[in-house]
């Protein structure tokens, strides 16, 4: 240490890695590992305070400190982790998600956890659709074998396995109990069909398929596949971690990059509007669509993920991810998300397609009208601010156009909310 630093204990200070320190660390870790797991059958996972008691099955990732993407993945595993299948596009989320020889995707004390695999930019949506097709086929095969073997199984058990709604965590656990009972019954049968059904019985429990990637995948390179999957009508969920730039490969502009933002290949500021992926998906009419920002409304984020998973059809959730490439103090990432929503750059909404229980679509604006100018949000970030130094007149021109984009988009969304009214949540709640 320098003379002026004598006696100061710093946050990062080299100390001997002696046996006492290691032993204490192991004791502390063992204590936390011994805490009982809380499940969604014992807390109200529909509320933030309840969901946060659930054990996350995404931990110790290699993401940048303060990454805006990882909280969404953590929440996904808290809600659906013990029956979750993830198809992950190449990008930041695949690098910190499959950072071999370790991985942040974990499992609970019952040995259940997410099944994760990485595919390419250009085919990840199709890759995830393959999950759904395979699961559905295995499920159908299990039902066929169950019907063939039904005379040797208790009728109540067969009916329960066939007709379980599996819409809540309690339903899922009840179905798992029935599957365990089925396995015991099958073990007593000397029939090759019984042995086959034992390998397929787990598919009688509802699986949650999520196709995950960044904006470079969803808006650009993999958009054709994403569009194909949305049009398929299959029960898959797509989570887009939108940092508005190709983060993993060095900060190149994507179709998600907003007007006036500076990025590689847009050094003079992005000239055109940001692609409205959500509005395009709504045009199909049968796709659940939501736009969320955890820093602005964690409750709306939780609502959107739960509604997307419960919807029997394709779902698209677009999540705001603040990024080190934005040129911000990453400690203030959640505050910046709040500003993005407050200025109207990132409206929060949910589009619910028409179902038998409703006579029409519902478009719910979960955020209030813009209350601050775009400039109050944008000029907190170097990706906007740097242009004011190199080309101030152009910076003013582009920001004025970007403000017009915000105003126009809000009018469009307000019109949708008037045409298809739904029930909005009070976003002043935590």
Give residue limits of the domains in the chain: 48-130+210-419, 145-204
**Minimum mean pLDDT among 9-13, 42-46, 361-365, 420-424: which range?**
9-13
Q: State in words which class domain 48-130+210-419 has.
A: alpha beta
Q: How far apart are CA 184 and CA 198, in angstroms?
A: 9
How confident is residue 5, by pLDDT bands cut at 50, 70 and 90? low
Q: What is the mean pLDDT of residues 9-22?
A: 78
* DSSP summary character for residue 343: T
Could you tell me if 75 and 328 are in contact, meaning their C-beta atoms sit under 8 angstroms apart? Answer: no
Q: What is the mean pLDDT of residues 214-222?
A: 96
Q: Is pLDDT of 80 > 80?
A: yes
Q: What is the pLDDT of residue 260?
A: 96
Nearest-angstrom CA–CA distance, 324 and 381 = 10
Q: What is the mean pLDDT of the chain?
A: 93
State mean pLDDT over 253-265.
Answer: 95
Q: Are 214 and 95 in contact (CB under 8 A)?
A: no
**Predicted pLDDT of residue 427:** 46
Please report which confidence band the pLDDT of residue 215 belongs to, taking 50, 70 and 90 as the band edges: very high
pLDDT (average), residues 114-143: 96
Strand partners, 289: 316, 351
- Give 158-180 pLDDT, tens digit per residue: 999 999 999 888 999 999 999 99
Residue-level pLDDT at 16: 79
Please, are residues 194 and 186 in contact by the beta-carbon 8 Å criterion? yes
Q: 164-171: long-range contacts (C-beta < 8 A, 24 or more apart)? A: 166/205, 166/206, 167/310, 169/39, 169/40, 169/41, 169/45, 170/41
Is the per-residue pLDDT at 299 higher than 80?
yes
Kindly report the number of other CB atoms within 10 A of residue 346's CB atom: 25
Whether 390 shows a pLDDT value over 60: the answer reads: yes
Mean per-residue pLDDT for 190-200? 97
């Amino acid at each position: 240490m320098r003379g002026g630093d004598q006696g100061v204990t710093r946050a990062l200070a080299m100390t001997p890695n002696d046996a006492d320190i290691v032993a204490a660390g192991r004791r502390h870790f063992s204590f936390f590992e011994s805490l009982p797991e809380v499940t969604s059958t014992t807390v109200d996972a529909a509320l933030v305070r309840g969901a946060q008691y659930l054990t996350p099955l995404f931990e110790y990732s290699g993401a940048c400190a303060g990454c805006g993407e990882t909280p969404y993945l953590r929440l996904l595993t808290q809600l659906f982790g013990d029956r979750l299948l993830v198809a992950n596009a190449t990008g930041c989320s695949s690098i910190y998600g499959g950072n071999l020889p370790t991985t942040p995707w974990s499992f609970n004390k019952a040995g259940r956890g997410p099944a994760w695999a990485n595919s390419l930019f250009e085919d990840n949506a199709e890759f995830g659709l393959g999950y759904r097709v395979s699961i559905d086929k295995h499920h159908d095969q299990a039902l066929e074998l169950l019907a063939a073997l039904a005379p040797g199984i208790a009728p109540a058990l067969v009916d329960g396995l066939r007709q379980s709604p599996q819409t809540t965590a309690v339903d899922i656990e009840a179905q798992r109990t029935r599957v365990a009972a089925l396995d015991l019954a099958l073990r007593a049968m000397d029939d090759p069909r019984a042995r086959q059904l034992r390998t397929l019985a787990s598919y009688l429990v509802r699986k949650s398929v999520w196709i995950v990637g960044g904006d470079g995948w969803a808006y650009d390179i993999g958009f054709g596949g994403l569009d194909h999957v949305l049009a398929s009508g299959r029960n898959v969920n797509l989570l887009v971690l939108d940092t508005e730039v190709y983060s993993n490969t060095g900060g190149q502009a994507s179709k998600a990059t907003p007007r006036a933002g500076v990025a590689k290949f847009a050094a003079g500021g992005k000239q055109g509007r940001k692609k409205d992926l959500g509005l395009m998906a709504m045009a199909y009419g049968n796709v659940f669509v939501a736009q969320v920002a955890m820093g602005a409304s964690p409750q709306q984020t939780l609502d959107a993920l739960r509604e997307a998973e419960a919807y029997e059809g394709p779902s698209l959730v677009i999540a705001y991810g603040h990024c080190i490439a934005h040129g911000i103090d990453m400690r203030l990432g959640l505050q910046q998300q709040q500003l993005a929503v407050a200025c109207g750059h990132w409206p929060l909404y949910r589009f619910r397609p028409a179902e038998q229980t409703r006579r029409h679509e519902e478009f719910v604006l979960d955020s209030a009208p813009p209350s601050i100018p775009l400039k109050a949000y944008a000029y907190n970030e170097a990706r906007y601010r740097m242009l004011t130094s190199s080309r101030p007149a152009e910076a003013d021109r582009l920001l004025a156009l970007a403000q017009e984009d915000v105003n126009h988009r809000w009018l469009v969304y307000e019109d949708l909310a008037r045409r298809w009214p739904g029930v909005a949540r009070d976003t002043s709640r935590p």
